[in-house]
Amino acid sequence: MFRLLDIEFYKLRNSKYFWILLILFMIFLISVPISVNLFFETIRSNKMTREGRTLVNYVSFFYTEDLWHNLTYIYKLGTILLAFITMISITNEYNYKTIKQNIIDGLSKKEFLLSKIYMIIVLSLFVTFLVGIIGVVTGFLYSQTSDLSLIFENIKYLGFYFIYVLTFLLFSFFIANLIKKSGVSIAIMIFYIIMIEPIIVAISTYGLKIEWLSSFYPINGINNLISNPFSRHFFKDLNRFTLTPFFVSIFYIILYIYLTYKILKNRDL
Amino acid sequence: MSEIVLKTNKLTKQYRDIRAIDNLSFTIRKGTTFGLLGPNGSGKTTTLGILLSVINQTSGSFTWFEEGNSNKQRKRIGAILEGPHFYENFTAYKNLKLISKIKGVGDNQIERVLKEVDLYNRKDDKFKTYSLGMKQRLAIASALLSDPEVLILDEPTNGLDPQGIADIRELIIKIASTGKTVILASHLLDEVEKVCNEYLVLKEGKLIHKGKVDQDVTNSLVIELASPDMIKLETVIKSNPYFISLKHNKNFFEVKFDGNTDFTLVANFLFENKIIISHFLVLKKNLETQFLEILEQNV
Ligand SMILES: Nc1ncnc2c1ncn2[C@@H]1O[C@H](COP(=O)(O)OP(=O)(O)OP(=O)(O)O)[C@@H](O)[C@H]1O
Ligand SMILES: [Mg+2]
């Protein structure tokens, strides 16, 4: 396992796109709490009316109980940058036929795939770790709490974030393996996320009236891992917590790995 | 007797509507320099691709080293298939370092192989800045990296200049002389002839001929000779130090010499012995004629 990770990270750390995307992702991570804080500070200092002030406090982003939920919800957006890393890392191998040479040189197809999957797992763990640090630091700095143990309340969202990133990256990896070309597979993935699946969800929910089905689609299903924390303030009753998204994610993780393996196994390189 | 390096059994690859290779069975023994010969599209690359597990065969099987055909065996093989494939933005050194990791060998071989193909002073340049010939040489370097027991080369001299071609052939011959097994695919007869000692000929995916490159044929010189005084010619020519044999034909002799001489030396020798020559024809009896005959027989 460490040999395969060593091989994959040797490829990554010598690649420019990896550093660029990773650094962009980190900038995104850090800029979120800073800019959100700035936003609320501005509102406060602008001598808002009493109602405005209470509203701000009410939805306070940094309110300790909600902190992890709020943070990870916004950080979901950044996952696309990590998906680009995952996708380019495999489409480059097809493009330059280095995947073929790797096999010739002595990796089995299974090992090759595992080296990428290990990389995806480590990357997901790493960014979860970063988000964890940011969460703790933000909690200390902004939440105006004296009880530090409150910061670790609802830290389960960090776990969900990990599952979300992992599943999403494996999804993008699967698409990239299927299509083999980086531009096209990125375009298809984005098109699927913002067009195809929402349409299918709309049809099955409003057209066919099968509402429960929407929790099982690849993107919608994992999105539910970290539901929209801001709407909760308006629809309190909708905020029921279930483990369904977790099991849906596990199902997709297994499915993507299995399908990618099948594709690679049967493909002539 | 000697160990078997590779055995294939009825290998077949069917693409949608073409049978790229058809029931291919052959055996390669240790130490052989084996040529895979055939015109464009005859299935050479497909065969090697299957043997290296990057192409799935439709049916049939093969075994490396009488063991199997997993990546464990592949690590004992150094191979290039259809041109060089490297990470474009890595330097030559980093590319070879990565391959060392894959093969599970230390990086102390990198310097040696780079020197072997004369790229050592360019080792820190990115692969994409290399010329085609340099890329090809780097590919050969990478194949040599783990000091493999078997070397597989698919058109290794593609894109090289005459000097590069000569260098690579010399390198292959040198490697073969250390007892390694070499499998060389080429449509250049001349190349197989110069380098290989066994070969097979493919045509439209079918094995149409298996043979040994006859050292006697290739390393010899055959000249048709005639003189007004055939008797004197015969005695004199038999005294030539490179003389091997003589065949009486109707109007001339077909004389075979050791390949270490050449026709100008023979002509000079006859001249010095004051033989008047009425017919002097160098016969090009080599693999090429054999090959063309074989192909023709199989139309
Ligand atoms: N991916 C593929 N799909 C369909 N047909 C293919 C594919 N790859 C090869 N072929 C066909 O298989 C046959 C054998 O091709 P192959 O590349 O093995 O020939 P070759 O002997 O290596 O030729 P060359 O000397 O030109 O390199 C050809 O007819 C080719 O068109
Ligand atoms: Mg070929």
Is A247 inside any structural domain?
yes
Q: How far is CA B183 from CA B23, B30, B60, B93, in A?
A: 19, 11, 20, 26
ipTM above threshold 0.90? no
Judgement on whether residues B30 and B145 belong to the same structural domain of the protein: yes
Please tell me the distance from the alpha carbon of residue A203 to that of residue A197, in angstroms, as a whole number. 10
Please give the distance, rounded to the nearest whole angstrom, from the Cα atom of residue B14 to the centre of ligand 1: 11
Please tell me the distance from the alpha carbon of residue B123 to that of residue B112, in angstroms, as a whole number. 12
Is B283 a pocket residue for ligand 1 (Cβ < 6 Å)? no
Q: What is the pLDDT of residue A58?
A: 44
Q: What is the DSSP string of A220-242?
A: HHHHGGG--TTGGGT-GGG----
Q: Is B43 left (phi over 0), alpha (psi -120 to 50) or beta?
A: left
Judgement on whether residues B225 and B194 belong to the same structural domain of the protein: no
Residues contacting residue A36 through CB under 8 Å, at least 6 positions apart: A61, A62
Is A55 inside any structural domain?
no
- pLDDT at residue A197 is higher than 50: yes
pLDDT band for position A166 (cuts 50, 70, 90): very high
Q: Which of B8, B25, B37, B12 is nearest to B212 (CA)?
A: B37
β-pair type (B220-226, B206-212): unpaired
Is B148 a pocket residue for ligand 1 (Cβ < 6 Å)? no
A20 touches chain B (CB under 8 A): no
Q: Which CATH number belongs to the domain containing residue B117 in this structure?
A: 3.40.50.300
Q: Tell me which H or E stretch contains A134.
A: helix A109-142
Neighbours of A144 (CB within 10 A): 9
Residues of the domain holding A70: 2-28+61-266
Is A201 inside any structural domain?
yes
Judgement on whether residues B37 and B86 belong to the same structural domain of the protein: yes
Boundary (domain end) residue, out of B159, B192, B216: B216
pLDDT band for position A241 (cuts 50, 70, 90): low
Is residue B111 within 8 A of residue B120, CB to CB? The reply is yes
Q: What residues does B222 pair with on adjacent strands?
A: B256, B283
pLDDT band for position A18 (cuts 50, 70, 90): very high
Q: Is B98 in Cβ contact with A268 (below 8 Å)?
A: no
pTM: 0.84
- pLDDT at residue A178 is higher than 50: yes
| SS percent in chain B: helix, strand, coil, step 5 | 35, 30, 35
Judgement on whether residues B41 and B170 belong to the same structural domain of the protein: yes
Judgement on whether residues B189 and B244 belong to the same structural domain of the protein: no
Q: What is the pLDDT of residue B95?
A: 96
Q: What is the DSSP string of A157-221?
A: HHHHHHHHHHHHHHHHHHHHHHH--HHHHHHHHHHIIIIIHHHHHHIIIIIS--GGGGGGSHHHH
Q: Is B90 in Cβ contact with A7 (below 8 Å)?
A: no
Task: Give contacts of A263 with chain B, Cβ < 8 Å.
Answer: none
A11 touches chain B (CB under 8 A): yes
Task: Find where tokens 């012995």 sit.
Answer: B273
Alpha-carbon torsion (A184, A190, A194, A199), positive or negative: positive
Nearest CA in chain B to A100: B54
Of B52, B85, B90, nearest to A14 by CB-CB distance is B90
Judgement on whether residues B232 and B165 belong to the same structural domain of the protein: no
Query: Higher pLDDT residue, B12 or A148?
Result: B12
Number of domains in chain A: 1
Is residue A69 within 8 A of residue A75, CB to CB? The reply is no
Percentage of chain A exceeding pLDDT 90? 59
Is A116 inside any structural domain?
yes
Residue type, B46: T
| Residue B27: both structure tokens together | 């055996």
Is B41 a pocket residue for ligand 1 (Cβ < 6 Å)? yes
Is A135 inside any structural domain?
yes
Judgement on whether residues B143 and B62 belong to the same structural domain of the protein: yes
Boundary (domain end) residue, out of B216, B236, B264: B216
Q: What is the pLDDT of residue A177?
A: 96
Nearest CA in chain B to A265: B56
Q: Specify the range with the lowest mean pLDDT, choosing from A61-65, A136-140, A235-239, B247-251.
A: A235-239
B285 touches chain A (CB under 8 A): no
Boundary (domain end) residue, out of B199, B216, B233: B216
Q: Tell me which H or E stretch contains B164.
A: helix B162-177
Residues contacting residue B186 through CB under 8 Å, at least 6 positions apart: B35, B36, B37, B44, B155, B156, B157, B192
Q: What is the pLDDT of residue B173?
A: 87
Q: What is the pLDDT of residue B156?
A: 87
Judgement on whether residues B94 and B112 belong to the same structural domain of the protein: yes
Q: What is the pLDDT of residue A213?
A: 85
B128 touches chain A (CB under 8 A): no
Task: Give contacts of B142 with chain A, Cβ < 8 Å.
Answer: 105
Please give the distance, rounded to the nearest whole angstrom, from the Cα atom of residue B218 to the centre of ligand 2: 25
Is A183 inside any structural domain?
yes
Q: What is the pLDDT of residue B28?
A: 95
Judgement on whether residues B139 and B46 belong to the same structural domain of the protein: yes
B79 touches chain A (CB under 8 A): yes
Give 10-residue mean pLDDT values along chain B (299 residues): 86 94 94 90 95 96 94 93 91 95 91 90 93 90 92 87 84 87 87 83 89 66 88 91 86 85 86 90 67 64
Judgement on whether residues B234 and B156 belong to the same structural domain of the protein: no
Is A42 inside any structural domain?
no
Is A46 inside any structural domain?
no
Please tell me the distance from the alpha carbon of residue B49 to that of residue B8, in angstroms, as a whole number. 13
Judgement on whether residues B225 and B208 belong to the same structural domain of the protein: no
User: For the segment A42-92, what is each residue's pLDDT rounded down to a tens digit?
Assistant: 776 665 555 555 455 545 666 666 788 888 999 999 999 999 999 999 999
Three-state DSSP class for B93?
helix
Q: What does the mean pLDDT of chain A come to?
A: 86
Residues of the domain holding B8: 4-216
- pLDDT at residue A234 is higher than 60: no
Average pLDDT over residues A158-181: 96
Q: Which of B54, B66, B48 is nearest to B11 (CA)?
A: B48
Q: Which of B3, B113, B19 is nearest to B64 (CA)?
A: B3
Judgement on whether residues B240 and B261 belong to the same structural domain of the protein: yes
For B:43-62, CB contacts with A below 8 A are 49, 52-56
Number of domains in chain B: 2
